[in-house]
A and B are shown apart, each in its own frame.
Chain A
């Protein structure tokens, strides 16, 4: 193809493409980029990009790229920027590449901005939907819980043992429904980046004790030994205490659910550098290798799960990552699983 065609193609690429030198001075940009910068028809070559785009997060990325001559690690969080384009709020995904131009030989930074406003809006609709749905679940559940509770108390008339059993089954299924509604709401909020953490320095011992307090009885019922193994000198961790309790509760809850009677569950925590690693090890049925990555995705279950919806681990992952930590899994089929996650140590 003749060379001019490539220039034409560059101009018409349906994404905003901008090329700068290592001082962020614009070398070239295509039609969509000009629209985005609001500079259609002007010659802006040689001017600094900062003059046209008002987005501190994007500038940080560009600065980092030119300063270290290396593309920063882009993730879902830092690569999505918000811009105000002619009064409308728009979202763009940033991609970057550093390379050398041939004539004259010089390092350049190429970056593209992909309009993902529509995806963001859809995410928002989804979150709104779950918020409304979760709210709408609560009203009927109230009258069910109250009604069942009153009948079960026997104060409205005697009930038979079978009748009581049925009422308890209704209560337990309603609790499940409520949890599902809560989980769907939490997860959709977190996915939209709405997770707000109330960070403080918290005691690992308190977190683990609070989580286990609610599960001890369940473990006894199932005849599973549930114990902790904690060194006495653990540092505080920087965390949202309720959310971390939630994570530990869920991992232990899973371990209980997926471990046979007479098994055991150990909850541990150790310090490793600037992090504390929590782990929950069980002697349950284990998780096949092929699932180790995707088990943290929502709705993923092995053999359809046992009564859950496949949301617990996805929420755990969102919470842990929001803390700047990681979550992972080691497991041997038939022998058991160990879920671990890391949380930064506290400041104090």
Chain B
């Protein structure tokens, strides 16, 4: 079973996204801040990371940059999930090493489709 790390601090979104992923047979780990995101990514080596940008402690851009600079995590695809629609933050996220950028809101099918681009 493939492992997905969901980094998100909104309880209701966690519920929806987690359900959506579990139904599609992924194992889901959830962390709610940037610090734990890095820690968990290093320890657990998920197959994919879904990353919100506005996070407590360390913001998503920084998390992204950190993960992409670490030998152990740099090959894990990162899909950003964010309410920031501005072109500017898309650019910043891609510069920080994100593999893809999805703006909220999205539907289950859209999330599945995006994930399938990176893992089977």
Contact = CB atoms under 8 A, between A and B. Distances in A.
Interface of A: 134-136, 138-147, 149-150, 153, 155-156, 174, 178, 185
8 contacts: A135-B84, A138-B83, A138-B104, A138-B105, A142-B16, A149-B108, A153-B108, A185-B85
A140 B12 CA distance: 8
Contacts of B106: 142, 145-146
Interface stretch (B17-25, B29-37, B68-76, B93-101): B17-25
B16 A139 contact: no
A139 B20 contact: no
Interface in B11-61: 12-13, 15-17, 19-20, 23
B84 A147 contact: no
A83 B109 CA distance: 51
B91 to A, nearest CB: 13
Interface residues on B, range: 20 to 34
B15 A147 contact: yes
Contacts of B19: 146-147, 150, 156
Interface of B: 10, 12-13, 15-17, 19-20, 23, 83-85, 103-109, 111
Contacts of A135: 83-85
Contacts of B12: 140, 143, 147
Contacts of A139: 10, 13, 83, 104
A168 to B, nearest CB: 12
Nearest to B8: A142
Nearest to A177: B105
A144 B13 CA distance: 8
A143 B84 contact: no
A72 B34 CA distance: 56
Contacts of A185: 85
A140 B19 CA distance: 16
A155 B112 CA distance: 14
Contacts of B13: 139, 142-143, 146
Given A135-B83, A140-B12, A150-B23, 7 more contacts: A135-B84, A135-B85, A138-B105, A142-B105, A147-B12, A147-B16, A149-B109
Candidate in A138, A140, A146 with the most chain B CB atoms within 10 angstroms: A146
A145 B108 CA distance: 8
Contacts of A134: 85
A150 B23 CA distance: 9
Contacts of A174: 105
Closest 9 CB pairs of A and B: A146-B16, A143-B12, A138-B83, A141-B105, A149-B108, A142-B105, A142-B104, A138-B104, A145-B105
Contacts of B85: 134-135, 138, 185
